[in-house]
Structure 1
Amino acid sequence: MKAKLLLLVIALFCVSTITYAQKKSKPLSFISGKVNISKYHEREELDRMPKGKLLQLYIERIEVIVNILPNIAFATNPNVTMSDIGIPNTKENKKALEENIEASEVYFDSTIEFQKKILPYSDTSDLISAILFYESTLKSLYTYNDFKSN
């Protein structure tokens, strides 16, 4: 009886290992992470905010821009994969995309670390101008397709 139970456990383990090994990983997309902001602002509204809140807004906008703009020639929406736009899903192409994603993460992390240390010294008026500029840039993504020739 113990031998049958042991054999059954080993068989189930082997089947689950084989099944797990055959699962394919989710395809990588060009744009991942935070890809939109919760609200666009007017200058008057930003003028009334404390500097701490402005710093958060500024960093949030940087995050979205870093996630989208470098890959705008491929996609403007998340979850677009190489296969979706006709790029061969070769080992070399996957590796290149993986390296790009990793480099973007390293860049973003170091940029945010720098911003958190240095940005509090910025002039509040300049910070507000930068937030409005970033928001304008993000709004323009909605018109990106207007520039494409069909």
Structure 2
Amino acid sequence: MKTKITLLMFALLCVSTLANAQKKQKALSFISGKISIAKYHEREELNRMNKGELLDLYIERIEVIVNILPNIAFATNSNVTMSTLGIPDTKENRKALVENKEASDVYFENTIEFQKKILPYSDTSDLIAAILFYESTLKSLHTYNDFKSN
């Protein structure tokens, strides 16, 4: 009797393990992290800010650009997954996407570490010009679909 109960419990354990292994993994999106900025600025407004505020704005814009631009051929928002685009959600494709995200995260962390050390030495007018350029680039994302052929 104990043998039958043990075998039954073992069988149930195996079935439950297989059932959990078959569950579909959550779909991964091409873009994750910060994908927008709160506000666009005019030069006069930036001229009134202190350098610390400008550095924060600069870094925030880099974060958005690093998250979006490398994947622009796939998506410009965070809702797009491989399945959305008809890309097979295979183990190899998922691994490639995860590795790409990890590489992007490492790049961003290293860039920000460098920027926080070196950027304070930049000329304020150059910093303002860079922020305006980045904001212009981010605004142009709103017209990205205009370049697609139907």
Question: 1:90 Cα deviation (Å)?
Answer: 1.2
Give the distance between the partners of 1:40 and 1:19, measured in 2 at CA: 50
Code of the aligned partner of 2:129: S
1:113 aligns with 2:113: yes
Task: Give the letter aligned to residue 126 of structure 1.
Answer: D
Q: Helix, strand or coil: the match of 1:110?
A: helix
**Matched residues in 1 for 2:128 and 2:20: separation?**
51
Identify the residue that residue 76 of structure 1 maps to in structure 2.
Answer: 76
1:35 is paired with a residue whose SS is: coil
SS in 1 for 2:27: coil
Q: Give the drift of 1:17.
A: 7.1
Q: What per-residue deviation string (whole Å, max 9, x for no partner) do you get for residues 52-110 of structure 1?
A: 00000000000000000000000011121001011111111111111100000000000
**Partners in 1 of 2:110 and 2:132 — Cα distance?**
23
Aligned to 1:39: 39
Question: Which whole-Å CA distance do the structure 1 matches of 2:34 and 2:20 have between them?
Answer: 30
In structure 2, the partner of 1:132 is 132
Q: Quick one: distance in 2 between partners of 1:33 and 1:24?
A: 23
For the residue of structure 2 that corresponds to 1:149, the secondary structure is coil
Structure 2: which 5+ runs fail to align? 1-8
The 1-side partners of 2:26 and 2:72 are apart by: 21
Q: Quick one: distance in 1 between partners of 2:91 and 2:22?
A: 17
TM-score by length of 2: 0.86
Report the Cα distance in structure 2 between the residues aligned to 1:42 and 1:90, rounded to whole angstroms: 46
Aligned ranges 1:22-33 → 2 under 5 Å: 23-33=23-33
Deviation at 1:16, TM superposition (A): 8.5
1:137 shift after superposition: 0.1
Q: Using the alignment, how far apart are the partners of 1:79 and 1:17 within structure 2?
A: 31
Distance 1:95 1:149 in 2: 31
Alpha-carbon distance in structure 2 between the residues aligned to 1:124 and 1:147: 34
Confirm or deny that 1:61 pairs with 2:65: no
What residue identity is the alignment partner of 1:101?
K
Equivalent residue pairs, number: 141
Mapped to 2, the partners of 1:30 and 1:18 lie a distance apart of: 29
